[in-house]
Amino acid sequence: MSDDLIFDSPFILGMMRLNERPEFDDADRFGDWLESRVERGLHWFDHADSYGNHEGEKRFGEALARRPGLKSRVRVVTKGDIVLPSRDRSPFGVKHYDTSERYLTSVIDGSLSRLGVERLDHFLLHRPDPLMDAEATARALDDAIDAGKVGAVGISNFLPEQWRRLQATMHHRLGVHQLELSLAHPDALFDGFYDAILADGLAPMAWSPLGGGSVFEDVLGTALSRLAEQLNSTTAGLALAWLRRLPGSPVPVIGTLNERRIDNLLLSSNLEIDRPTWFALLEEARSHRVP
In 3-state terms, what secondary structure has residue 252? strand
140 CB-side CA count, 13 A: 24
- Rounded to whole angstroms, the Cα distance separating 263 from 42 reads 10
**Residues paired with residue 251 on neighbouring β-strands, in sequence order:** 205
Q: Which residues contact 17 (CB under 8 A, 6 or more apart)?
A: 51, 255, 257
Residues with catalytic roles: 51
Contacts by residues 145-149 (CB-CB < 8 Å, ≥ 24 positions apart): 145/172, 148/118, 148/119, 149/108, 149/109, 149/112, 149/119, 149/120
DSSP strands (E only) in 217-256: 251-254
Instruction: Report the relative pairing of strands 44-46 and 174-180 from DSSP bridges.
Output: unpaired
Asked if residues 206 and 240 have their Cβ atoms less than 8 Å apart, the reply is no
Instruction: Using alpha carbons, list the distances in angstroms from residue 221 to 178, 218, 254.
Output: 25, 5, 18
Asked if residues 130 and 96 have their Cβ atoms less than 8 Å apart, the reply is no
142 CB-side CA count, 13 A: 14
